[in-house]
Amino acid sequence: MTAAHQTLTTADGRPLKAALVRAQRRARRRAFLLVAPLLVFVLLTFVIPIGQILYRSVHHDGFSANAPAVSEWFAATAPGTEPDEAAFAALAADFKAMQAARTAGVAATRVNYTLPESRSLFTKTARSADDLVPPYREAFLAIDAKWASPAVWQAMRSSSSAYTGDFYLASADFERAEDGSIHRVEETQRIYVQLYLKTFALSALITVICLLLAFPVAHLLATLPMAKANLLMILVLLPFWTSLLVRTTSWIVLLQSQGVINSALVAMGVIGDDGRLPMIYNQAGTIIVMTHILLPFMILPLYSVMRVIPPGYARAARSLGATSWTTFRRIYLPLTLPGMGAGAMLVFILAVGYYITPALVGGADGQLFSNMIQFHMSKSNWSMAAALSSLLLVGVLILYWLYDKLIGIDNLKLG
């Protein structure tokens, strides 16, 4: 080796780097082939559906595709422009085409999202599409006087573009006025923001209760001898092996006003017969049952972390002069942080998206955001459901980012 920066070569003169790549290529290819099925699976079942949801939340071409002529007119005029004869003529042409293709319902659905109760106006007009002869404005007004309403035209205008932020506006309790300006909906109609916040607050509460309940259990599991710990572990996992529906309904049996707990309390004289506690079909029911269902998700990561904390640390702290409380606070608790973080993360994310349990036991005030998503899905309003889902996703991602900032994502141990 004469020059210091001469490239290293193998014995037969090939560059060392190239030889290394060649030698590792086979192993790399094998590793890739092993993960390929999972990669495909994740792509098909996760990335694509989420992409679809995000797309649907901003895209709906029910109106723009079926009423191209009037959509063009909207595109050419400024928001708030009074519809002129040309606009009515374009709309008439669209209605005739829609009546022929029987797609008026699809377009009406899209407009209906923006302006409720406008569906009947569309179907009625479509049925009478043959009567639409010039002068078109008068012909439309003859079918229904509502065609003069600026609200209808504003609704059509916002539907005239396939890409729209209207669903997000609605999710944030905003709406467009007749002149196209954005303002909050009436106070009595605001539901989403409040429900969104309530969902996160309830999930946080459930996470805290789970943590408080799981910590001693996990500690016991981690310190008991193996045989006893295994038995206890089966008890922890037993609910896992039972159907979610069965568990939820068994809570109904326990908690309802004529249920086991209330009857027992009445029998013991703790409460009067007319003072039975409302523990289900309300927020309390949602909290109780979801805490129970999500508890194992907190216990398991905590247990896996606690099990590997050597008892020597606690002993060392004690011998150094710390009381048992100080030892717990300064030594044991910080060492369990990765488990607490993982458990809290699991429980919180699951709770935020929970739907069956609140639907069954939540009553009116125990509903969560997912129930609203489900409501829109049942009404086939996929775009609205998608917008709400995206908001939920964003909320979780923000919390995840916060967690990383505050505690650090390396401090997460799932098992």
Contact residues: another protein, CB under 8 A: 310, 312-313, 315-324, 326, 330-331, 334-335, 337
Smallest distance from another protein to CB 323, Å? 6
Q: CA-CA distance, 98 to 19, in Å (whole number)?
A: 67
Packing angle between helix 333-352 and helix 283-307, nearest 10 degrees? Answer: 140
With beta carbons less than 8 A apart as the criterion, state whether 412 and 341 touch: yes
In three-state secondary structure terms, 335 is helix
Q: CA-CA distance, 98 to 92, in Å (whole number)?
A: 10
208 or 322: whose CB is closer to another protein?
Answer: 322
241 or 325: whose CB is closer to another protein?
Answer: 325
Phi then psi for 8, rounded to 5 degrees? -75, 145
In three-state secondary structure terms, 298 is helix
Smallest distance from another protein to CB 342, Å? 16
Smallest distance from another protein to CB 301, Å? 18
Smallest distance from another protein to CB 225, Å? 13
Smallest distance from another protein to CB 206, Å? 28
Smallest distance from another protein to CB 318, Å? 4
Smallest distance from another protein to CB 377, Å? 46
Phi then psi for 87, rounded to 5 degrees? -65, -45
Instruction: Tell me the HSE value of 67 on the side-chain side, using a 13 A CA sphere.
Output: 32
In three-state secondary structure terms, 279 is coil
43 or 320: whose CB is closer to another protein?
Answer: 320
Q: What is the CA angle 330-333-339, rounded to 5?
A: 150
Q: CA-CA distance, 385 to 356, in Å (whole number)?
A: 16
With beta carbons less than 8 A apart as the criterion, state whether 179 and 80 touch: yes
With beta carbons less than 8 A apart as the criterion, state whether 98 and 129 touch: yes
242 or 324: whose CB is closer to another protein?
Answer: 324
37 or 321: whose CB is closer to another protein?
Answer: 321
270 or 316: whose CB is closer to another protein?
Answer: 316
13 or 312: whose CB is closer to another protein?
Answer: 312
